[in-house]
Amino acid sequence: MHRLHRMSRSHGLALLLVGASVACVVTGCSDPIEAPADYLNAEYYSGSEPELRHLQGVPSARFGTPHLGIWQSRRLVTDDLDEETAEAVGLEEGQSFTAASGYEFLIAVLVGTDEGAGAEDGVTPSIALVAGAETLELTRLPSTYFDRLVVIASVPVGEPVTLQVDDAGQIVTWDLREADYAADPVSQRAAIYGGGHEEPRVGGVETTTGQVRLPASTDGLIPEQMGDLIVGLDLATATFRVSPYVIGLGWAPADTMWAEVFGFTVTYESELISVAPGILSVNEPAAAYSMTTADGQVYPLAAGNTALDTVQLPFDTPYVVFAVRFGFIGGTFTVAPQAPINGLGTSGNAQTASWTQIPPPLTLAVKIT
């Protein structure tokens, strides 16, 4: 075992260990001694598995917040610790322990993840182990699958032991006894990070056709023209994501989530005008984008969405965000073309075509599966 870092807190631990050492000289440490009732500790292991017996596996217990992601892999609730387990959780080497009267030990193993969490300049989440009135700040977390953080708390029988993360001003709580998010509203919104909250390749292509008018060329050689213009919506490589936090917008308002769609393309094709993103483009207004739920509720583009630039650079794609109700996992994404079309006219010069008949909106279903 390679133990690199220890974080501990106990008002009576130092005196207890001094007493235990003296007792070991006399008795050989054959009998367990009582651990402090307020004992909290965290032991960091890099690239190794600590000696922990009888711990139960915890299936699919990922604890995530906007800027943090770890797994709870195992746990143990017991009223006594054998020598190996006691040493692994930071107690005296070669000594077994028993919990104080009316108390029990809760031990949990936290594992790093290579999946990572969102990074944002100026935002660093803090995390603490909390048991009753006792709090231990965890100053080092496992960063890869090969790292472990073993935490232990001595608590009254049945009382909760939690991890509390302060992430961008909101407290997200993880219940180590239940290996699940706590029941408070903030934690329940963050619970979507514990499972799938993203569909990386939505798929689907839709087109719609309207009528446009292209004015006469400035030199008068080409008269005014009318014709069809086909607008296409392509979600083949688009991502749909639902989360309570978006960089640039922060935490979604209470009882809501952010629904993001990005990586999609909107194309404009006509014999009258050629649109080249990054050179000349179509700047659809915010009203062109909406998200509709199965019950017919229509959500407009979120206020403050900075993703809709006035000009798309080559190979850039639009990015839209909607504030939807909590519990939303899918709906109908709509693009309603309505803006004038900037491009190269039949004269070869920059021109703007305007709609004489706006096409029906483009709609495609998006859902987290």
Host domain of residue 116? 3-191
Q: What pLDDT was estimated at residue 209?
A: 98
Does the pLDDT at position 284 exceed 60? Answer: yes
Q: What pLDDT was estimated at residue 277?
A: 63
Note the pTM of the prediction, 2 decimals. 0.84
Last residue of a domain, one of 157, 173, 191: 191
- The dihedrals phi and psi of 328, each to the nearest 5 degrees, come to -70, 130
In this structure, are 129 and 153 located in the same domain? yes
Q: Which of 232, 210, 220, 233 is nearest to 353 (CA)?
A: 210
In this structure, are 254 and 272 located in the same domain? yes
Does the pLDDT at position 280 exceed 80? Answer: no
* Total tally of structural domains belonging to the chain: 2
In this structure, are 98 and 216 located in the same domain? no
In this structure, are 30 and 128 located in the same domain? yes
Q: What pLDDT was estimated at residue 316?
A: 63
Q: Which of 118, 240, 123, 254 is nearest to 189 (CA)?
A: 254
In this structure, are 21 and 149 located in the same domain? yes
- Whole-angstrom distance, CA of residue 360 vs CA of residue 101: 72
Contacts of residue 25, defined as CB under 8 A and 6 or more positions apart, other chains included, come to: none
The residue with greater pLDDT, 27 or 336, is: 336
Last residue of a domain, one of 167, 191, 215: 191
Copy the structure tokens of residue 98: 């028993």
Rg (CA), the chain: 29
Q: What pLDDT was estimated at residue 60?
A: 66
In this structure, are 8 and 75 located in the same domain? yes
In this structure, are 153 and 202 located in the same domain? no
Does the pLDDT at position 207 exceed 80? Answer: yes
Does the pLDDT at position 323 exceed 90? Answer: yes
Mean pLDDT rounded to a whole number for the chain: 86
Residue 147, H or E segment: strand 147-156
In this structure, are 134 and 246 located in the same domain? no
Copy the structure tokens of residue 248: 């640039």
